Amino acid sequence: MYRQAKTGKLLIEILPNKCDFCGCCVGVCPEDAIELKEAEIYIIDERCTNCSKCIWSCPIEVIKFNKEGVLSKSLA
């Protein structure tokens, strides 16, 4: 099961345990769809449009486009 992204399916995946919590992706996300705490990050699926801007802006390449869809945090 997929969590519901704005487009119906969340295709953006922040690779687990690889993020540096730098905020680049959050700063460019037009939908305010990324939650970033001191050492926790996740996409708020209901807001995400799968536009990919966060992927292009991640300096260390830890966000990926996953055409299969991304599982929910609680289910993963």
Partner 1 sequence: MKSDYDIIVVGAGPAGSMAARFAAEKGVSVLMLEKDRDVGYPVRCGEAVSKAGVSEFIEPDEKWISSHINNFALISPDGTEATIEFGDAGYVLERRIFDYELAKTAAKAGAEILTRAYVNGLLFENGVVSGVKYEYRGEQKQLSAKIVIAADGVESRVGRWAGLRTFTDFREMECCVQITASNINVEKNTLYFYFGQNVAPGGYFWIFPKSNNAANIGLGVSGMVGKKKSALSFLNNFMSNNFPDSPILTSIAGGVPSSITLEKISGPGIMLVGDAARQVNPLSGGGIASGMIGGSIAGRIAGEAILRNNLSHILSYDKEWHNRLGKRHEIFERIKNGIYNFSDDKFNKIAQSFNSIPKDKRTLGRLFTTALLNQPSLLVDIAKVFII
Task: State how beta strands 40-43 and 34-37 pair.
Answer: antiparallel
CA dihedral 66, 71, 74, 75 (to 10 degrees): -140
Backbone angles phi, psi at 27, to 5 degrees: -65, -30
Q: In the set 7, 8, 16, 52, which binds ligand SF4 (CB under 6 A)?
A: 52
Q: In the set 2, 9, 42, 51, which binds ligand SF4 (CB under 6 A)?
A: 51
Residue 46 within binding range of partner 1, rule CB under 8 A: no
The token pair at 11 is 């295709």
- Which partner in ligand SF4, partner 1, none is near 71 (CB below 5 to 8 A by kind)? none
Binding positions for partner 1, rule: CB under 8 A = 20, 22-24, 26-30, 32, 35-38, 53, 56-61
